[in-house]
Structure 1
């Protein structure tokens, strides 16, 4: 009989390698959380700092204030405060990059 390979159901998903954030696919409580990259074969583990509701974002890496936030392999936001890996990423620490110019001010 073939050996069965069991994988834990991911708690969050990143879209591409190099993304700074991942999306919670269930409510995630503080502690160790497991996820994966959709377009890749990499499993991820993050020490989650805050409760992250289903559909919201978790930081995968530390980000300084005023830097781009990458998701889907593209710039989607700009940090308004420093963010550490595992923190809840939302309007309290990121603003949309949708209407921002890519030219530095």
Structure 2
């Protein structure tokens, strides 16, 4: 697998990040990643088809919310926590802190 395109932090915008976090499935993915630090795509607990999950993961990656690390035939996901905290201090903590158990 080749390296996936991810925006430089200077290209990450607040509207893009907020859009990526506005979907319940994507928000659930981010919440799981926040708890686990890093997860393989296959271990995410979401109630959508694989193709739909792939599209959600693409939106998160292209918005600059997540980092995808290819490793053999697996892809490992993590939140770009340091970058997001630098660009938008407190945003991720506020969003994750507002979640209820039914949101994840």
Q: TM-score by structure 1 length?
A: 0.26
Greater relative contact order (Cα < 8 A, sep 6+): 2
Task: Give the number of the structure whose residues are more often strand, by fraction.
Answer: 1
Task: Give the number of the structure whose residues are more often helix, by fraction.
Answer: 2
Larger Rg: 1
Q: TM-score by structure 2 length?
A: 0.26
